[in-house]
Amino acid sequence: MRQSALRLASFCLALCALPVAGCRTEASGAEAQRAAVAESGLALVPLQVASGARRHAFTVEVAASEEEQQRALMFRQSLAPDRGMIFPFPRPRLASFWMRNTFIPLDIIFVRTNGSIARIADNTIPESLEPVAVDEPVGAVLEIAGGRAAELGIIAGDRVSWPGFPRTP
């Protein structure tokens, strides 16, 4: 009987401690946003495309390193309509992508350093080795589900932003 009472008391103490522990580890909105991590292990950030008066919200994985950018969305079987991947570059550059080992069509959006869209390559062909490029230096590239840009009315000249981009001098 005494052991049962001790086990019950220990269980109750453990339950009571959970909310307190949860409160201590709870992050502010900004901290939680910074700490968000995708299943891939990449950081997740909110991204917005301003298209006229409309704003389109996405949650994107940040492929920051060269290795992350090379792997990109390869081997994925699907991509939710409000998800994507952003490839920020440390300096503006000409960018060229291919679809090797990419099983889903993507819209590849080339973004100038001021946040404006330079080009949209829509519904790229899965597993194609044909380069998809832009003819001017860009600060980032955004990949979203194929056909999504047209569906939302996103066009060249619209503006892309996420925390820290576009960079201000």
User: According to the model, what pLDDT value does residue 70 have?
Assistant: 75
Residues 141, 159: Cα–Cα separation, whole Å:
12
Phi, psi of 48 (to 5 degrees): -130, 140
Give domain 36-161's CATH superfamily.
Protein of unknown function DUF192 (2.60.120.1140)
Category of 91 on φ-ψ map: left (φ > 0), alpha (ψ -120 to 50) or beta: beta
Q: What is the pLDDT of residues 16-35, one digit of tens each?
A: 333 333 333 344 454 444 56
Residue ranges with strand state E in 101-165: 106-111, 117-121, 132-133, 138-145, 159-161
User: According to the model, what pLDDT value does residue 119 have?
Assistant: 98
Average pLDDT, the chain: 81
Sign of CA dihedral 65, 89, 122, 163: positive
Q: Is the pLDDT of residue 14 over 80?
A: no
User: According to the model, what pLDDT value does residue 43 have?
Assistant: 87
Q: What is the pLDDT of residues 74-118, one digit of tens each?
A: 768 898 999 999 999 999 999 999 899 999 999 999 999 999 999
Q: What is the pTM of this model?
A: 0.77
Residues 79, 139: Cα–Cα separation, whole Å:
23
Phi, psi of 22 (to 5 degrees): -60, -40
User: According to the model, what pLDDT value does residue 118 have?
Assistant: 98
Residues 93, 70: Cα–Cα separation, whole Å:
16
- The residue ranges of every structural domain in the chain are 1-28, 36-161
User: According to the model, what pLDDT value does residue 73 have?
Assistant: 77
Q: Is the pLDDT of residue 38 over 90?
A: no
pLDDT-derived band at 11 (thresholds 50, 70, 90) equals very low
